[in-house]
Amino acid sequence: METGNWKNKLYFGDNLDILREHVASETVDLIYLDPPFNSNATYNVLFQEKGGEKSAAQITAFEDTWHWSMESEYAYQEVVKEGPRKLADLLQALRAFLGQNDMMAYLTMMAQRMVELRRVLKLTGSIYLHCDPTASHYLKMLMDATFGAKQFLNEIIWHYRKWPSGKFTFQRNHDILLFYSRSQKNERVFNQLYMERAPSTLKRFGTAKIISGHDETGRRIPSQMATEDSTGVRQDDVWDIGRVPPIKQLFPTEKPEALLERIIAASSNDGGLVLDPFCGCGTTVIVAERLKRRWIGIDITHLAISLMRHRLHDTFGPDLSPYEVIGDPKDLSSARALTEENRYQFEWWALGLVDARPAQDKRKGADRGVDGYINFFDDNSGKAKTVVVQVKSGHINAAYVRDLKGVLEREKSPIGILITLEEPTKPMLQEAAAGGFYEPESFPGHQYPRIQILTIKELLEGKEAQYPRMAPTATFKRAQRRRVSTEDQQKFTI
């Protein structure tokens, strides 16, 4: 694809700030967003009035609720004072109806972002908003107020199957996608997609093209068959696409690639720019890359950014288009700033420097001395061995090295890595050296320090962890390498 000097981009940070500071007006061809929301919360919780003030909302990898806070109040006042008139009126009406609760905080934050998303979208562009049913009706009103009710094109139903859950209700097996255009003109990019005919139609007509119409009096002319085959039936707005099974998910709430393939193929062309402001595990950018589009992905967690980088390289290897990561620390001072802002974000970023996978969501309990791990293979047994990784952002001493040794014994891991922001002390280096070496039988003559202390400064300068690399390291669940095939190219008939 013709991209000139363009580099695809992954941004770390709040998408509101990034949209305002880094994305120019009317430059994006297609936007897909799946904003996080706590679909497991009950209506009673979501609509409960909140008393007192809470700290500013932070969206993290596994926490997807926004709470009413001073940040919500500032955002509300900004939209009402500076936003489009209809959106300001709607937000005031919603607050009068809902009060100050989680739902209102969510809608206020989304209203801010809607204004920016409309600004960056080309006049020929389209936007697909993926909704949780708990908030879809409110989000549609926000979209009407921001883009205009006449720009609403489809309410797409994504239908799937999953294990039954809940009682006294119908099983919920669908999501909603709201499809809007930027302008009223029919100049928007839309590549007609087709689906297979119904069995009854195939039985009667086969694959021949069906020609039908009306005569001068308006009477229907009986269907006729042409000599050439039909491309099928125009794609409808109910999409039967299987979910990503939880056991195969790279990230919670991961969406199937087939869903994004349909959206991107229909509403963008080769070389078009696709934006996902809530990128998560990066399905949008993966599909955009495969379909030869340019792309921008934004996420507020280093965990997601690190996962996307691995997924891109695992999937495309040397065929990957040039891209850059913007917003992550590039030097020691910015690393210190990150740990002062959010030590969990610092930890996820630091783990990414050694290609380690986070061990767990720490808010759910103690980490038992394991912040992350790297799986590796050094024999033909098919069973992975594990490198245990710890991250320390504060004061350190030899006791941390002794603790890591104990963790290795408990976890039966041959190698442990201690990542530190501060320089290690001499007693720490001596304690680490006393740990000896790991010598795999399949690598005679190769020795790997059992305890390795790596500073952030060293990692930023290119130093690497030492462990056997007989087979590719299994960090995040490894994405399948997939190149553009003839089948992919013919998958979407235009």
pLDDT in tens, 394-443: 899 999 999 999 999 999 999 999 999 999 999 999 999 999 999 988 77
What are the DSSP E strand ranges found in 327-414? 357-358, 372-376, 385-392
Structure token pair of residue 116:
């920016």
Q: Residue 87 gets which letter from DSSP?
A: H
Residue 364 pLDDT exceeds 90: no
Residue-wise pLDDT for 236-268, tens only, equals: 999 999 888 766 666 667 789 999 999 999 999
d(Cα 332, Cα 334) in Å, to the nearest integer?
A: 6
Q: Find the largest Cα–Cα distance for the chain.
A: 97
Give me the mean pLDDT over the 448-452 stretch. 96
Say if CB 288 and CB 264 are below 8 A apart: yes
The pLDDT of residue 252 is: 61
Cα-Cα-Cα-Cα dihedral of 364, 366, 369, 370, to 10°? -10
**Rounded to whole angstroms, how far apart are CA atoms 436 and 113?**
54
Residue 154, pLDDT > 60, answer: yes
For the beta carbon of residue 326, count every other beta carbon within 10 angstroms.
17
Which residue, 327, 329, 324, 337, is CA-closest to 300?
327
Two structure tokens written together for 273: 């720019």
pLDDT at 231: 67
64: pLDDT strictly greater than 90 = no
Give CA angle at 357 (288, 248), nearest 5°.
55
Domain boundaries, the chain: 8-193+235-326, 194-233, 332-460
Grouping H, G, I as helix, E, B as strand and the rest as coil, residue 109 is helix
**Confidence (pLDDT) at 224:** 53
What number does CATH give the domain 332-460? Answer: 3.40.1350.10
> For 191-226, what is each residue's pLDDT tens digit?
999 887 666 666 555 555 655 555 555 565 555 554
The residues near 20 (Cβ < 8 Å, ≥ 6 apart) are: 116
Nearest partner of 337 among 391, 393, 386, 411, judged by Cα: 393
Higher pLDDT, 205 or 30: 30
0.85 exceeded by pTM: no
Q: What's the average model confidence in pLDDT over 13-18?
A: 93
Most confident of 163-172, 388-397, 467-476: 388-397
Give the count of beta carbons closer than 10 Å to the beta carbon of residue 392: 19
Say yes or no to pLDDT of 60 above 80: no
Fold of the domain spanning 8-193+235-326: Rossmann fold (3.40.50)
Amino acid at 102: D
- What mean pLDDT is reported for the chain? 82
Q: Name the residue among 451, 440, 357, 471 with its Cα closest to residue 404.
A: 451
Name the packing angle between helices 15-22 and 102-120 (round to 10°): 20
